Amino acid sequence: MNQFHWTYWDHFGRQHVVGILHGIKTGHLVIHLNSNVLIIDFNVFKAKKYSFLINEEICELQIEEGDDGFKYDLGVNERQAAERKALKKKEEQKFLYQQIGAVVLTSLLLVTITLLLYYIKH
């Protein structure tokens, strides 16, 4: 049985341990994150790729067949990570505009009410 683990540090500085258990004879595969099972797969005898999230980062575990057995590699999908960051930035900008609009509308409402009360009294 092959066992590997990687230590992944997220952008908040937190440590995550990604590990795998891969039965060479059975092909059973378990991928776990911080001792919590993420993926269970059976009959993994050929190259395969698994994607999962650690916080908001898309990580990919690649299993490749080699001459001397299987090779395992863990990495971050940079293209998808860049797309997610661009979407998040766009959403944050939209939220900022909504906040500014809410402040402007509230201010206009308060000014209107103040002027109405002023003219009613005089």
Count of CA atoms in the C-beta half-sphere (13 A) of 94 = 6
Q: Render pLDDT for 12-35 as a digit per residue (tens, 0 to 9).
A: 889 999 999 999 899 999 999 998
| Per-residue confidence (pLDDT) for residue 49, from 0 to 100 | 95
| Per-residue confidence (pLDDT) for residue 51, from 0 to 100 | 92
Q: Residue written as tokens 């900008």?
A: 93
pTM tops 0.85 = no
- Please list the helix, strand and coil fractions of the chain in percent, rounded to the nearest 5, in that order: 35, 45, 20
Those residues of the chain that have pLDDT short of 70 are none
Residue 90's H or E segment, with its range, is helix 78-121
